[in-house]
Amino acid sequence: MNLPIKMTINEIISHLLEAKKILLLCHVSPDGDCIGSLVALGRALQRLNKDVCMASEDKIPGSLRFITEPGEILLTNEITEKFDTAVAIDSGDMQRLGLIGQELFSKADFRINIDHHSSNPLYGDLNLVQPQRAATGEIILDLIFNLGIEIDRSLAEPLYTAIFTDTGGFRFTNTTKDTLNKAALLVGYGASPNLISHEIYENKPLGYFKMLALAFGRFTIDEKICYTWISFDEMAEFGLDFEASEELSTFAKMLENTKMSLVFKQKEENLVKVSLRSQNGYDVAKLAEKFGGGGHKQAAGCTINAPLDVAIKEMLHAAKEVDH
Ligand code: 5GP
Ligand code: MN
């Protein structure tokens, strides 16, 4: 397995070194892994004097702004240029790039797909997909090493954030010796574990705790499936962006004696984002795939186009049907 990966890395590097205008894209509802990976790769390529554009379909959540400079990441709807190379980062399938993101990706002369989701259908002209990696940030770190770029704090901080967030603060089963070694290296290059942990898990507005209190009060356990929900009206009432509800899934999976947790987050009237987590090795990516989503065995997501109560009913029904 090593040889093809090494060959792919070499091919990607030689392509990036020849490219003139490069577009880097992350997935919708961007998280720490995709933003951290995007910023680190973008900055690394800029050091090689490449014309790089970093873009996101959705705006960057407040808790991740500390790893970006103002104006560094554009919104996809602000882009009018054409690119010879586009790189999709941490996006398990092409739809994850968003409507405009997908179009920009498709229009580029050459497309590179860098990801760590096992369900990735290898939609690029070159695909560097390593499901054994805890975070796409780990893959980007390898690429940056191979590009021969010196790592300083401006690269170490976003990369550490990528690994830190996708491992739930080094707690999830995807945390390996290699993950921790990479994190330690990044600390050596200037990433501060305390500062990053503070920015990600602390520093929250009061409305955030009121939202948690409401969603915690709704925790329901049905056939060992724990679920809760939050509506967009409620999020607005607490003065929160949609992204602020992302962490609910981390709490829902803390309940004892459950097999799976489901968090329903209403994004629009008839659009519900579901975050699925499994506690005992059950493959939630398969369940998410039934609704057009995907992800990892223990953490997956999907979007259901229906009112909140209908989405909850449909997903619970499908979750109960699966053989644990
Ligand atoms: P989350 O619930 O935190 O949004 O996502 C959990 C995992 O599933 C992440 O690895 C994320 O990239 C993936 N994921 C979330 N939503 C989707 C989706 O709609 N499609 C696919 N393919 N993956 C998703
Ligand atoms: Mn990721």
pLDDT digits (tens, 9 = 90+) for 75-95: 999 999 999 999 999 999 999
pLDDT confidence tier of residue 23, bands split at 50, 70 and 90:
very high
- The answer to the question of residue 151 being in a domain is yes
| Global pTM value | 0.92
**Which atom in ligand 1 lies closest to the alpha carbon of residue 303?**
19
Quick check: CB of 294 below 6 Å from ligand 1?
Answer: yes
Angle ∠(59,171,300) on CA atoms, nearest 5: 50
pLDDT given at position 4: 83
Read off the pLDDT of residues 31-72 as tens digits, 9 standing for 90 and up.
Answer: 999 999 999 999 999 999 999 999 999 999 989 999 999 999
The whole-number pLDDT of residue 118 equals 92
Q: Whose CA is nearest to atom 11 of ligand 1?
A: 295
96 lines ligand 1 (CB under 6 A): yes
Q: In what order do the strands lie in the sheet with 294-295?
A: 220-222, 225-230, 260-268, 271-278, 299-304, 294-295
Containing structural domain, residue 75 = 5-199
pLDDT of 1: 43
Number of domains, the chain: 2
Q: Say what the pLDDT of residue 268 is.
A: 94
Measured from the Cα of 276, ligand 1's closest atom is 2
Instruction: Mark which of 144, 174, 199 sits at the end of a domain.
Output: 199
Tokens of 197: 């942990």
- One domain for residues 191 and 85: yes
Residue 275 beta carbon below 6 angstroms from any ligand 1 atom: yes
Share of the chain above pLDDT 70, in %: 98
- Residue 129 CA, ligand 1 centroid: distance in Å: 15
Atom of ligand 1 lying closest to residue 34 CA: 12
The answer to whether 163 touches 179, Cβ cutoff 8 Å, is yes
312 Cα: distance to centroid of ligand 2 (angstroms): 25
Q: Are residues 19 and 90 both part of a single domain?
A: yes
Which residue, 199, 227, 254, sits at the end of a domain? 199
Last residue in a domain, options 174, 199, 224: 199
HEC secondary structure over 159-221: HHHHHHHHCCCCCCCCCCHHHHHHHHHHHHCCCCHHHHHHHHHCCCCHHHHHHHHHHHHCCEE
Q: What's the pLDDT band for 323 if we cut at 50, 70, 90? A: low
Q: Is the pLDDT of residue 305 over 70?
A: yes
If asked whether residues 64 and 179 sit together in one domain, one would say yes
Nearest alpha carbon to residue 126 among 6, 39, 9: 9
Asked whether residue 324 is assigned to any structural domain, the reply reads no
Lowest mean pLDDT among 1-10, 92-101, 184-193, 240-249: 1-10
Lowest average pLDDT, out of 1-5, 38-42, 291-295, goes to: 1-5
Kindly state if the Cβ of 135 falls inside 6 Å of ligand 1.
no
> Is residue 218 a part of any domain in this protein?
yes
For the record, the structure tokens of 22 come out as: 């490069």
8 Å CB contact between 285 and 294 = yes
Phi, psi of 22 (to 5 degrees): -115, 130
Tell me the mean pLDDT in the region 277-291.
92
Report the chain's mean pLDDT, rounded to a whole number. Answer: 95
Task: Choose which residue among 33, 93, 96, 290 to substitute to test ligand 1 binding: the one with the highest number of ligand atoms within 8 A of its C-beta.
Answer: 96
For position 213, what pLDDT does the model report?
A: 98
Is residue 240 scored above 70 in pLDDT?
A: yes
pLDDT tens for each residue of 153-179 = 999 999 999 999 999 999 999 999 999
Cα–Cα distances in angstroms (integers) from residue 297 to residues 114, 150, 226, 278, 319, in the given order:
19, 35, 17, 8, 14
Distance 166 CA to ligand 2 centre (A): 6
Q: Which residues pair with 278 in a beta bridge?
A: 260
Q: What is the CATH number of the domain that holds 147?
A: 3.90.1640.10
Per DSSP, the residues of 275-304 read EEEESSS--HHHHHHTTT-EE-SSEEEEEE
**What pLDDT is stored for residue 57 in this prediction?**
97
pLDDT at 280 over 80: no
Do both 227 and 140 map to the same domain?
A: no
**Same domain assignment for residues 215 and 250:** yes
Which ligand places an atom closest to the C-alpha of 284? 1
CB of 168 within 6 A of ligand 1: the answer is: no
> What local confidence, expressed as pLDDT, does residue 3 receive?
56
Q: Is the CB of 30 under 6 A from ligand 1?
A: no
Ligand 1 pocket, 40 CB below 6 A?
no
Q: Is 98 in the pocket of ligand 1 (CB under 6 A)?
A: no
> Is 303 touching ligand 1 by the criterion CB < 6 Å?
yes
